[in-house]
Chain A
């Protein structure tokens, strides 16, 4: 196990990117920080800059206006970075897939490691998704 993989097992810093969402997934992510779910006990925390992040959470459809910004933020992120698509919108486009401003599912724009479907996924689903992903990464 390399040094970087070792670091991934410990406290993960999360950057949240709303590509063009309806706020629901974003609020459920914030909900994870609050006393009921309290992910900070696992050492995870939301941070203000992607340059410090281990995990990039993307919510909402990628619109034509946010597409270049999503790419830029992905380029700014330190590698390796884990990208998680939260909600139906970044996974497939969801209900907005027929929109004229839809620039394609997230995995057509940047590489994605995990998909957590749901509209919005429950905070428990997000937690379980992250844990499943970390376990899968540990096996590699």
Chain B
């Protein structure tokens, strides 16, 4: 092996809009090792949530990530509503699903555009983002804002999609569907895309299981998981749709999965709008008086994969513990498989392929030696240390591990 060159990228660089730091160890053109550092966007959201009331937390969690600003409230609503066991009206379920799927449409279009941009294919970037605009307009009509929709509340949704809005939405969807089909044709048949994306950044099903990757990243490698089908929430049980998977595991397969999911999402929204007609207008919320003590677990399928929220209530008006796990947290470590062995120029698209969302996932812990800049502890070792300390305390107090009452469900 030749001499290793270190290519530092970031934290502020023109590639992605978020700050993150990559260190590529290169031998010639080939990436032989990589390290990354995140945490620039860490805003202490879990702690902020504990100081808000259950209702207010919705507006905090939707600001975890601007692109997933429905997925986090979705998972949080599932978690909180599971504590008292609220059954929300069907109309609210449908509206929730409509907003959730619209978000998937806008997020996947955004990703296709960015992927084009990373490949130096700005036409795709301009196209995809142009066709994304009508979706954002729809958001503005339904929710009042282009992003950060503030639609969810405990026991239902805050605004209704009435017949007038539904008609407009259907019209826009028809238009978006046509454009999506065109985009799919243009992207899937493009020889440049084939040459750049096929066989690049391949993740095998074993890698997916090893890293615990979720969402389109997993589905593109043939791992058939989707929370909307595996643990149905909101209106997904009532709809007729299928989970899109691909076998290859390369970046082209990821693009394919996302593009075909666009069509599925559009069809789901159309079905929801059809079902909405049968429900009484205005029946969008049940009153939830208080949240009893207990723990709630909720998850939702975000455009990037499973979002997981854990909420613990002690009967007061705010959560005592709120734990969030965003999909990028498990998807980002797959970079080690997809980037190492490829060229530097492929590293850009391989890192973008999982649609990483750094602002969702800022919590990595690494300890560096200040003088030598050498990593002395990584997250796993820290966890091991922490667990060891707990065990030591337990041994001191003569407690066996089964007496842990707090976490028993």
Q: Contact residues of A with B, CB < 8 Å?
A: 16-31, 34-36, 46-50, 60-61, 63, 65-66, 69, 73, 94-96, 98-102, 119-120, 122
Which 8 pairs of residues, A with B, have the shortest CB-CB distance? A24-B66, A48-B14, A34-B129, A23-B66, A26-B17, A99-B44, A35-B130, A24-B147
A119 contacts across to B, CB distance below 8 A: 63, 148
Q: Closest Cβ of chain B: how far from A120's Cβ, in Å?
A: 6
A23 and B18 contact, Cβ closer than 8 Å, known pairs A31-B129, A63-B43: yes
9 contacts between A and B (CB under 8 A): A18-B17, A20-B359, A21-B18, A23-B67, A23-B359, A34-B133, A63-B40, A69-B19, A94-B63
Q: Mark B1-43, 1 if CB is under 8 A from A, else 0.
A: 0000000000111100111000000000000000000011111
Residue of A61, A69, A94 with highest tally of chain B CB at under 10 A: A69
Residue of chain B at shortest CB distance from A30: B17
Q: Is the interface of B mostly helix, strand, loop or mixed?
A: loop
In whole angstroms, how far apart are the Cα atoms of A63 and B42 in the complex?
7
Q: Of residues 37 to 58 in B, which have CB atoms within 8 Å of A's CB atoms?
A: 39-45, 47-48, 51
Tally of B interface residues using CB under 8 Å: 37
B40 contacts across to A, CB distance below 8 A: 20, 63, 65-66, 69
A48 and B17 contact, Cβ closer than 8 Å, known pairs A23-B359, A34-B126: no
In whole angstroms, how far apart are the Cα atoms of A36 and B129 in the complex?
9
Instruction: Select one of B11, B59, B148 contacting A24, CB under 8 A.
Output: B148
A25 contacts across to B, CB distance below 8 A: 66
B147 contacts across to A, CB distance below 8 A: 24, 27-28, 120
In whole angstroms, how far apart are the Cα atoms of A30 and B14 in the complex?
12
Instruction: Select one of B12, B14, B66 contacting A27, CB under 8 A.
Output: B66
A120 contacts across to B, CB distance below 8 A: 66, 146-148
In whole angstroms, how far apart are the Cα atoms of A60 and B11 in the complex?
15
In whole angstroms, how far apart are the Cα atoms of A36 and B133 in the complex?
8
B42 contacts across to A, CB distance below 8 A: 20, 63, 65, 101
In whole angstroms, how far apart are the Cα atoms of A30 and B126 in the complex?
10
B357 in the interface (beta carbon within 8 A): yes
Instruction: Select one of B12, B45, B130, B359 contacting A21, CB under 8 A.
Output: B359
Cβ contact within 8 Å between A16 and B126: no
Q: Closest Cβ of chain B: how far from A24's Cβ, in Å?
A: 3
Q: Is the interface of A mostly helix, strand, loop or mixed?
A: mixed
Q: Closest Cβ of chain B: how far from A19's Cβ, in Å?
A: 8
Residue of chain A at shortest CB distance from B41: A20
In whole angstroms, how far apart are the Cα atoms of A102 and B64 in the complex?
15
In whole angstroms, how far apart are the Cα atoms of A23 and B18 in the complex?
7
Q: Mark B159-195, 1 if CB is under 8 A from A, else 0.
A: 0000000000000000000000000000000000000
Q: Closest Cβ of chain A: how far from B58's Cβ, in Å?
A: 11
In whole angstroms, how far apart are the Cα atoms of A73 and B67 in the complex?
26
Q: Closest Cβ of chain B: how far from A56's Cβ, in Å?
A: 11
In whole angstroms, how far apart are the Cα atoms of A29 and B126 in the complex?
14
Instruction: Select one of B41, B48, B69, B125 contacting A98, CB under 8 A.
Output: B48
Residue of chain B at shortest CB distance from A50: B12
Residue of B19, B51, B69, B126 with highest tally of chain A CB at under 10 A: B19
B113 contacts across to A, CB distance below 8 A: 34
B263 contacts across to A, CB distance below 8 A: none
B83 in the interface (beta carbon within 8 A): no
Residue of chain B at shortest CB distance from A76: B12
Since A29-B17, A65-B42 are in contact, a sample of 8 more A-B pairs with Cβ atoms closer than 8 Å, ordered by chain A residue number, is A22-B66, A24-B66, A26-B18, A27-B67, A28-B146, A28-B147, A99-B48, A120-B147
A65 contacts across to B, CB distance below 8 A: 39-40, 42
Residue of A21, A30, A36, A50 with highest tally of chain B CB at under 10 A: A21
B44 contacts across to A, CB distance below 8 A: 96, 99-102
Instruction: Select one of B12, B69, B129 contacting A17, CB under 8 A.
Output: B12
Instruction: Select one of B13, B59, B146 contacting A95, CB under 8 A.
Output: B59
Cβ contact within 8 Å between A69 and B66: no
